[in-house]
Amino acid sequence: MIAIEKIAIENVSRRGFLQGIFSAGAFVLCARILPEPLWAVSSGAAASVSTSAFHPSVFVGIHTDGTVYVVAHRSEMGNGVRTSLPRILADELDADWSRVHVVQADGNEAYGSQDTDGSHSVREFFDVLREAGATARLMLVRAAAKQWGVPESQCVADPVHVVSDKSSSRKLGYGELASLAANQPVPKKEELTLKSPQQWRYIGKPAPGYDVTDVCSGKPLFGMDVRVDGMLYAAIAHPPVLGGKVKSLDDSATLKVIGVKKTIAIDPFKPPHGFQPLGGVAVIADNTFAAFKGRKQLKIDWDNGSNASYNSADYKKELQQTARQPGKVVHTTGDPDAEFAKGGKVVEAEYFAPHLAHASMEPPVAVADVQGEKVTVWSPTQNPQGVQEQVAAALGLKKENVTCHVTFLGGGFGRKSKPDYAVEAAVLSKNTGKPVKVIWSREDDIKFDYYHSVAAMYLKAALDNSGKPTAWLQRSVFPPIGSTFKEGEVYGGAGEMSMGWNVVPFDVPNFRSENGQAVAHVRIGWLRSVANIYHAFAVQSFANELAVAANRDSYDYLLALIGNGHVLDAGPQGPNGVGEKYPYDTARLRRVAEVAAEKANWGKKKSGKGSGIGIAVHRSFFTYVASVVEVEVDDQGTIRIPHVTTAVDAGIVANPEMVRQQFEGAAVFGTSIARTGEITATGGAIDQSNFYDYQVARMNDAPRQVDVHIVESTAPPAGVGEPGVPPFVPALCNAVFAATGKRVRELPLTRNGFS
Amino acid sequence: MVHFKVNGRAQTFDGDAEMPLLWYLRDILGLTGTKFGCGMALCGACTVLQNGKAIRSCTKQMSTVEGLEITTIEAISANGQHAVQKAWTQVNVPQCGYCQPGQIMQAVSLLSSKPKPTDEDIDSAMAGNICRCGTYQRIRSAIKVAAKETA
């Protein structure tokens, strides 16, 4: 069950928090909450991601000059957290947004989990940020009332950033009140009055990115941009196969390259690999190019180890074979076997989705400076405490001795939750006695990723005379994320199962979901929306196949499948699961389908002859999404996507502008997955290497227009960064079927004669 | 020894002639606005202007910059006030922002040769610049806004 949130707010004005920002007299509050557990509770991943006590804190401070400082303790990677989170607090504080300054937090367990993944940020911190803002506002009001010697009820925080005396024209600015407010006791929660949604200034109102001007000016914001005095540069030749080791090394040509200083062997990991470096040989140089050039000159004989037998083409057949056999039961409703035994019309289909790489535009990069027992790391990381833990473990130091400065991330998508590259920098800095910047090339990034899992799925349904399913069986087989943290883990964790697999949001009386085993041969990790990608692809493609089998319009049929809507018993829980706060209400799913279809003029669009329209729905990270995709396919099989209509119910929305951006982007990310996304391996080594053989969507093949419709909701805020991806992929494939009559059961589309 | 200009200032270089301009700008001059994305002129993150025209600095060797005038994102305006940067801000284009300096430089180059680009012009000029966050439709809008501003 989701923990009931407890929020405790402390006045820490005298305790020297955020030293260097505040001078004497500043007013600083700290808020702590006990929130819901992480998603992968039972998979072992959660424990590895964050073993620290889970007590998130957030700080707000008001300087005597009136500047309001809000600490961004989550990582900015295009998700908009440096804008959306502070605005929630600023709203309840009645602060002038133009006078709010966002400060990026270092890694520190005082903030609780900072792992910016799982579309957590707004949904987890909405209440605490509001309460912190309201607390600060009340303390400012009380400080003004005391100063003027008038009742508190006579003072209001209006207009923004000042407290006014209603009975006179007296006003005091927040800066003037800061040191007085710092002397106020923290009010009890019962004394606070949170604003009604009608009173919100910023929540629910669109706002551009806080950092947009700096970003467009090319300011040095990113991990790749970090420069430290005396810094050396490193490129690492990683073992081509997971678990490989250096047998012999000849670095004589490398050491002749201008600018190369030395080579350093990095120890292989001890299984399970977790977030440890892969090992290999580092080339240390005085600039990036020299390091890259020197690495090319290395002559290394590798012992590739047991994963050298891994060939993804054979592995695919194994997974498909497993998916045809009974697996471990995940969730059952009714008696599907009895229903199937009755005979009648049965539809079966198999689906397959390959490994994917994250390919964030900024490859992994980190700078580390080891000085005796102290380490400073600068890194674009989604997981700064993971950096602290892993660096400390690798160097035999205490976690508190590792400072992790979080830079902007040039994309993350889950890759930068794994701090292996920061550990590499720390190991090399310790060895050289100098600050070292480790830079992964694009080839490193593609070949040595934590891959999104490959998956084979089998689905079967029995249909009644009207074409409605009376029984439904689905089986999913994939090497699990848990294999990264536990050697030999072959079954999906509760988190992965809750991602669109334990249940389907349809009116099916007899249902069973299963999971078959699969051994991992590469590093497996989470990628934007994780297991939802392949699960939604299978379920939503299958729903479309059933519509065809029933000779029904696919949208009408989808609505019939969903039914009028009810709260699902969803079995095991996770971010896609259920709880008191987030019941799985299929009426909300139906609503987004209706909105998307209506906005896309579903009934008026004709499919066939190279034009097609497709729909899919999916709930993930508690957010309900419908995608309607329109395609044009020419005689050569070239796909164009003129229009995408997305409807989103993400509960209360903090910043609709950021929501639109995330869902526009998700359609492009989904296009990359569906059209060309495929990682394969031969002899254990990854076949792809750069954007020519791991192609991602470009402007000319991305959707031309993505319209995002936010369905108004009073439900608690839900996830935004990830949920746009899963339904897009099957909606696109369903549109391709409508246009061409060709069913896509295996991703990507390029495997099906399309481009 | 090669002689050239970066952002209006005369520079010389006598290091490894194979070094790409990208790493010279980033590691030697400290101009980190120009980004590394692929090293093979496939993604456009490293786009700079060579005598006013967009090039990929990751494959431009230092041996070939003699006499050239190179302009980076840092020098197209003070404080992000170039018409293209203002349009980018107005449309709220960036998500993570890493590719945007390259996108902006490519757009500046496009607008200098085609002040009123069609959608096809925009596609063909911008197809070499990857944005993994997927900001393409806003990039297209921003280019049109900038074209209007500068018309």
- In CATH, what number is assigned to the domain containing residue B63? 3.10.20.30
Question: Contact, A151 vs A140, CB < 8 A?
Answer: no
pTM: 0.95
Same domain, B123 and B97: yes
Quote the CA–CA distance of A157 and A160 in Å, as a whole number.
Answer: 6
Residue B42: which of A669, A690, A699 has the nearest Cβ?
Answer: A690
Chain-chain contact of A217 with B16 (C-beta, under 8 angstroms):
no
Q: Is there a single domain that holds both residue B65 and residue B103?
A: no
Statement to judge: residues B119 and B139 lie in one domain: yes
Architecture of the structural domain at A7-216: 2-Layer Sandwich (3.30)
**CATH annotation of A312-356+450-752:** 3.30.365.10
The average pLDDT across A77-98 equals: 94
Q: Domain holding B95: CATH number? A: 1.10.150.120
User: Of B23, B98, B143, B144, which to mutate for an interface test with A (greatest number of A Cβ within 10 Å)?
Assistant: B98
Rounded Cα distance between A10 and A327, Å, is 51
The Cα-based distances of A654 to A90, A122, A648, A649 in angstroms read 12, 7, 14, 13
CB contact under 8 A, A691 and B42: yes
| Disruptive mutation site among B137, B140, B141 for chain A (greatest number of A CBs within 10 Å) | B137
- List A405's β-bridge partners, or say none: A378
Q: Say how far apart CA A497 and CA A503 lie, in whole Å.
A: 9
Q: How far is A381 from chain B (nearest CA, A)?
A: 13
Choose among A289, A442, A703: nearest Cβ to B37.
A442
From A223's Cα to the closest Cα of chain B, the distance in A is 10
Residues B60, B93 within the same domain:
no
Pairing status of strand A623-633 against strand A639-649: antiparallel
- Residue of chain A with shortest Cα separation from B140: A699
Cα–Cα–Cα angle for A395, A111, A579, rounded to 5 degrees: 115
Q: H or E stretch including A517?
A: none
Report the percentage of chain A scoring pLDDT > 70. Answer: 93
CA distance A531 to A52: 26
| B123–A contact, CB cutoff 8 A | yes
- Chain B residue whose CA is closest to A212: B89
Tell me the backbone φ, ψ of residue A438, rounded to 5 degrees.
-95, 125
Tell me the backbone φ, ψ of residue A601, rounded to 5 degrees: 55, 50
pLDDT-based confidence at A579, cuts 50/70/90? low
3-state SS, residue A394 = helix
Least confident of A55-64, A171-180, A629-638, A660-669: A55-64
Q: Which chain A residues are closer than 8 Å to B101 by Cβ? A: 216, 218
Label residue A111 by pLDDT band (50, 70, 90).
Answer: confident
DSSP H or E stretch at residue A181: helix A174-181
Could you say which DSSP state residue A185 is in?
A: P
Query: Which value, in Å, is the radius of gyration of the alpha carbons in chain B?
Result: 15
Q: Residue B121: closest CA among chain A residues belongs to which residue?
A: A700
CB-based contact A408 B79, cutoff 8 Å:
no
The DSSP 8-state label assigned to residue A570 in this structure reads: -
For residue A697, which residues of chain B lie inside 8 Å, CB to CB?
134, 136
**Cβ of A212 and B26 within 8 Å?**
no
Query: Are the CB atoms for A586 and A568 separated by under 8 Å?
Result: yes
Residue with tokens 């493609």: A541
CATH fold match for the domains A7-216 and A223-305+364-439: yes
Decide if B40 touches A, using CB distance below 8 A. yes
Q: How confident is the model at residue A26 (pLDDT cuts 50, 70, 90)?
A: confident
Nearest-angstrom CA–CA distance, A615 and A628:
4
C-alpha distances out from residue B20 to A199, B57, B58, B64, B76, Å? 55, 6, 5, 10, 21
Q: CA dihedral defined by A300, A301, A305, A310, rounded to 10 degrees?
A: 80
Determine the Cα–Cα distance for residues A323 and A309; give it in Å rounded to an integer.
Answer: 22
Which one of B96, B99, B108, B118 would you mutate to disrupt binding with A, by most A Cβ within 10 Å of its Cβ? Answer: B96
Task: Note the pLDDT tens digit of each residue in A331-348.
Answer: 999 999 999 999 889 999
In chain A, which residue's Cα lies nearest the Cα of B58? A289
Please state which of the ranges A30-34, A163-167, A526-530 shows the lowest mean pLDDT.
A30-34
Residue A270 carries which DSSP code?
P
Which H or E run contains B118?
none
Task: Give the pLDDT score at A31.
Answer: 73
- φ, ψ of residue A616 to 5 degrees: the values are -150, 155
Which residue among A211, A214, A360 places its CB closest to the CB of B132? Answer: A360
- Minimal Cα distance from B32: which residue of A? A225
Chain B residues with CB inside 8 Å of A411's CB?
A: 96, 98, 132-133
Sheet holding A100-104, edge to edge: A7-11, A27-33, A57-62, A68-72, A100-104
Of A73 and A313, more confident = A313
Same domain, B67 and B91: no
Which helix (DSSP H) or strand (DSSP E) does residue B143 occupy?
A: helix B136-150
* Antiparallel, parallel or unpaired: β A510-516 and A469-477: parallel
Cα dihedral value A718, A720, A721, A724, nearest 10: 120
Q: How many domains does chain B have?
A: 2
In whole angstroms, give the CA distance from residue A452 to residue A497.
Answer: 15
Q: Are residues B57 and B118 in the same domain?
A: no
Residues 73-102 of B with CB under 8 A from A: 73-74, 77, 79-80, 85, 88-89, 92-101
User: In angstroms, rounded to a whole number, what is the distance separating the alpha carbons of residues A577 and A571?
Assistant: 8
Distance (Å) from the alpha carbon of A691 to chain B's nearest alpha carbon: 6
CA distance linking residue A132 with residue A125, whole number of Å: 10
Boundary of a domain, candidates B75, B97, B119 = B75
Whether residue B92 is found in the same domain as residue B143 = yes
Of the residues A79, A81, A116, A216, the best mutation for testing chain B's interface (the one with the most B CB atoms within 10 Å of its CB) is: A216
Contact (CB, 8 A) for A613 and A604: no
Domain map (residue ranges) of chain A? 7-216, 223-305+364-439, 312-356+450-752
Could you tell me which chain B residue has the CA closest to the CA of A77?
B96
Q: DSSP letter at A217?
A: T
Where do runs of H (alpha helix) occur along A656-697? 656-675
Residues of A in contact with B100 (CB under 8 A): 215-216
- Beta strands A232-237 and A27-33: pairing type? unpaired
Kindly state the percentage of chain A with pLDDT values over 90.
Answer: 82
SS3 B127: coil
Q: Which two tokens stand for residue A189?
A: 């929660």
- Same domain for B6 and B67, yes or no, is yes
Q: Which of B35, B58, B75 is the last residue of a domain?
A: B75
pLDDT digits (tens, 9 = 90+) for A205-231: 999 999 999 999 999 999 999 999 999
State chain A's mean pLDDT as an integer.
92
Q: Would the CB atoms of A224 and B20 count as touching at under 8 Å?
A: no
Given the structure tokens 């240390």, which residue do they identify?
Answer: A284
Determine contact, residues A187/A139, Cβ cutoff 8 Å. yes
Q: Are A481 and A525 in contact (CB under 8 A)?
A: yes
User: What strands lie across the sheet with A402-406, from one edge to the other?
Assistant: A260-266, A280-285, A232-237, A436-439, A365-371, A374-379, A402-406
- Higher-pLDDT residue of A570, A310: A310
Backbone φ and ψ for A240, nearest 5 degrees, come out as: -60, -25
Among B26, B122, B133, the strongest candidate for a mutation testing the A interface, having the largest count of A CBs within 10 A, is B133
d(CA A742, CA A736): 7
> Which amino acid is located at A45 in the chain?
A
Token pair of A664 as six digits = 């526009």
- Smallest Cβ–Cβ distance between B92 and the set A212, A259, A671 belongs to A212
**Residue A18: what pLDDT?**
58
Last residue of a domain, one of B75, B100, B125: B75
User: Minimum mean pLDDT among A78-82, A422-426, A551-555: which range?
Assistant: A78-82
Question: A213 contacts in B (CB within 8 Å)?
Answer: 79-80, 85, 89
DSSP reduced 3-state for A97: helix
Give yes or no: residues B143 and B98 share one domain.
yes
Q: Which of A20-34, A211-225, A636-650, B7-21 has the lowest mean pLDDT?
A: A20-34
Give the integer Cα–Cα distance in Å for A89 and A695. 40
Judgement on whether residues B69 and B118 belong to the same structural domain of the protein: no
CB A84 within 8 A of CB A540: no
Range of the domain at B134: 83-150
The ipTM of this complex is: 0.98
Contacts with B123 from chain A: Cβ below 8 Å? 699-700
Helices (H) and strands (E) in chain B, counts: 5, 5
Instruction: Report B:6-35 residues touching A (Cβ under 8 A).
Output: 15-16, 18-20, 23, 26-28, 30, 32-35
Phi, psi of A725 (to 5 degrees): -75, -50
A473, β-bridge pairs: A460, A512
- Region A606-628: mean pLDDT is 95
Measured between beta carbons, which residues in chain A are less than 8 angstroms from residue B105?
none
**Chain B residues near residue A690 by CB distance under 8 angstroms:** 38-40, 42
- A223-305+364-439 belongs to which CATH class? alpha beta
CA A562 to chain centre: 27
On the question of pLDDT at B99 being above 50, the answer is yes
**Are the beta carbons of A218 and B73 separated by less than 8 Å?**
yes
The whole-angstrom distance between residue A293's C-alpha and the CA centroid of its chain comes to: 34
Which tokens belong to A560?
A: 């019939």
Partner-chain contact A218 B138, CB within 8 Å: no
Q: pLDDT tens digits, residue range A452-499?
A: 999 999 999 999 999 999 999 999 999 999 999 999 999 999 999 999
* Cβ–Cβ < 8 Å for A678, A312: no
Query: Closest Cα to residue A11, out of A30, A25, A26, A24?
Result: A30
In this structure, the number of other CB atoms found within 10 A of the CB of residue A64 comes to: 19
Give the residue carrying structure tokens 């997305």: A646
